[in-house]
Structure 1
C-alpha cells in the first residue's frame, strides 16, 4: 500500500507565521516590508557559515519560501527544508527554482503571470525597433559629437512589414505578436505544439521558424527544456540579414554561439534584455555596434512591479489562510 507523502497531504494546519516563512534572496521592497511587518518572517543568509547555521536551526520549521524568479529556491536549499509546503515566486519565470524536486515532493509554486505581460511585450517592441533602426547607436552618434562633424549616420533596416518569428507563443509572445500586427508584420511562431485557431503560421522547429522569417523574437520559458534552444544552427538559419531579439531568458540562447555570430556577421544584429550569467555580460559584446544591450528591464516599470508585488502577497496570504495559491504554475 503506497503512502502519499506530498506537501499538500502533510500540510500542518496550524497558523503560518514567523519562523515558518523564509525570504530567499532579495525581493521587491514592498514584499520584503510586508514579510517583515505582517508575518515576522525569516531571511535566509546569502552563503557561508551563517547560511549553514540558519538552515540547521530553522530548516525543519520552514513551510513557505518567498523568492524572486532570479534567485529561486535551488536544489540544495530545498533539500534543507524538509517541511516546505509552498514556494511563492516574484516573477513570471521560475527556472531558478528546482521545479523537478518541488514536483516530486508535491510542493506547489506560484508566479506572477499576466500582470507583467504588457510591459515585457512593450520592451520587446522597443528592442525590435531599436535593433533594426539602430536607434541607440544613433543617439550615441549625436551625443558624442560625430553628427556635428558632418558625418552621415549609416542607413538602418525597415522595421515595418517584416516576417517575424515568435519563439514561444504564450501570454507574452501573443502580446508581442499583437503589437507587431500594428506594424503590418507577418507573424510566424514555434511552440511545442501548434495552437488550434491561431491566425499565425506555425513551424515545427526553431530552425524552421528562423529560416522562414526576418526577425526571431525569443519569448520561450526558461529552464532545462529550453536551454540552448537557439543554437548555432538556428543562428545560421536567421542569416546575415536577419535579427535576434531575446526578452525571455539568457539560457534559451547559446551565448558563445551568439557572440560568434554577431562578430562574424552570421546575423545582422541582436537586441538582448537577458543574458546567461546576469548581471555579467560577455565583454566581446561591448564593442559591437550591431547589438543592443539592456539590463533585464522587461517588466521594470513602477506600475508593473507594484502589480507583481500585490500578486505575490495575495498568493502568500491565500496560502497562509487556506492552503491554496492564487496563481500556481501548472
Structure 2
C-alpha cells in the first residue's frame, strides 16, 4: 500500500497556463507533486509568481494561448532549474535566456510525430478532394438545388514538397509513399540516407511540386519562409499544408494568393497570431482550418502527461531527463 506523503513535503511544481490535458489528469499526480496554479488566483501572473513561486525549482508549461516563458517570468523565478513543456516545438520558450540562466528544458520529443503526420496527410486529402467543402454543400441543402459540386484533385502520384524533413516530415513522407507520391524536401543540409530529392532553396522546391507541407520549426530563419514568391512558384493548382507554426507562412500574402486564385487551397492547423484567425479565411471554401490540434489525440494527451511527469520525477531524483531538449 502506497504511503501518502504530506502535501508540505511534496516537491512544488509551477504550472503555467491552464492546460486542459493537465487539468483532466491532475488528480492522478496529486500525491507526487504539489502544484501551484496561477490561473486559480486573482493575482496578476507576475505578482502571483513573486508571491508564491520564488523557491520553485521546476515549472510545467503548455504551448497555446498567448503565454510565453519570457525574461519577465524568469526574473520572478530565481530558483528555477527546469522547464518542462508538453510541446515538440519550443518557440513559446525564450530558449536563449533559459539557457543563459542554466535552466534545463524537457520537451515532448518525438511523441507527437505520428499524430501530426496523420493530420498533415488528412488536411492534404481534404483540401485536394474538397471533403469539408462537400460536407458543407450537402448540409446546407445545396445538392438538390445546385446539382454539380466542384470536383477536386487526386492525391496519388502528386509531387509533394516537405519543408523540414525531421521526425514529423519523415513520418509524412512515409505515409505519402503509400499514395505513390514523389517526395522532395527542403532543409539546411542534405540527408544522406533518404531517397528523396533535396532542395536547399524553398522557392526551387515549390517550383517543382504540386503541394508543400510545412513541418519545420519556427526560428528567425524560417519566419515567413513561405512568402508570396514561393506561393506563386507553387502555382494555381498548388496546395499548402501547415502543421509547423503559423508564422512560417506570410499569412497576409497567403490569403491574397488564395483569394486571387494564385494557389488552389490550404490546410492550416496553425496560424500566425492564434487563436486569432483572419476572418477572410472563414469565407474561403478552398481552405480547411484546424485549431492547432494536429498532435492532440486521446492517446497523445495521456502520453504527454506521463512523459512530463517522468521528466519531473527524474529531475527531483537527480537522474537524467527522459526527453531533454538539446539545441
Q: Normalising by structure 2, what TM-score?
A: 0.91
CA distance, structure 2, for counterparts of residue 130 and residue 187 of structure 1: 19
Quick check: 1:100 aligned with 2:87?
no
Q: Is it true that 1:155 corresponds to 2:151 in the alignment?
A: yes
Secondary structure of the structure 1 residue equivalent to 2:85: strand
1:46 deviation in Å? 8.3
Deviation of the 1:37 alpha carbon? 3.9
Q: Does 1:22 align with 2:14?
A: yes
Q: Work out which of the residue numbers 289, 295, 313 in structure 1 matches 2:309.
A: 313
CA contact (8 A) 1:60 1:81 kept: yes
Hey, what does 1:44 align to over in structure 2?
38
Identify the residue that residue 274 of structure 1 maps to in structure 2: 270
Q: Does 1:324 align with 2:316?
A: no
How far off is 1:45 after superposition?
4.0
Which residue does the alignment assign to 1:60? 54
1:48 deviates by 8.2
Question: Hey, what's the Cα distance between the residues in 2 that align with 1:111 and 1:280?
Answer: 25
Rounded Cα–Cα distance in structure 1 between residues aligned with 2:268 and 2:219 = 18
Q: CA deviation at 1:34?
A: 4.6
Q: Which moved more, 1:76-85 or 1:179-188?
A: 76-85
Q: What is the deviation of 1:188? A: 0.2
Structure 1 residue 158: Cα displacement: 1.4
In the alignment, what sits opposite 2:122? Answer: 126
Compute the RMSD of aligned alpha carbons. 2.0
Q: Cα–Cα, structure 1 residues 151 and 98, in superposed 2: closer, same or farther, change >3 Å? A: same
**Partner of 2:248 in structure 1?**
252
Judged with a 3 Å threshold, the aligned counterparts in structure 2 of structure 1 residues 32 and 237 are, in CA distance, closer, same or farther, namely farther
- Aligned CA distance change for structure 1 residues 205 and 31 (closer, same or farther; 3 Å): farther
Asked whether 1:228 is paired with 2:224, we answer yes
Kindly report which structure 2 residues correspond to 1:71-150, keeping only aligned pairs within 5 A, or say none.
71-149=67-145
> Alignment length, in residue pairs?
315
Q: Which runs of 5+ in 1 are unaligned?
A: 1-15
Query: 1:303, CA displacement in angstroms?
Result: 1.2
Q: Tell me the alpha carbon deviations over residues 35-64 of structure 1, each in whole angstroms, 9 at most, x when there is no partner.
A: 544211212348984323322223431211
Equivalent-residue separation in structure 1 for 2:247 and 2:151 (angstroms) = 32
How far does the alpha carbon of each residue in 1:117-175 deviate from its partner, in whole angstroms, 9 at most, with x for none?
11111101100100011111111111111112251111111111000000000011000
* SS of residue matched to 1:120: helix
- In 1, Cα distance between equivalents of 2:222 and 2:41: 29
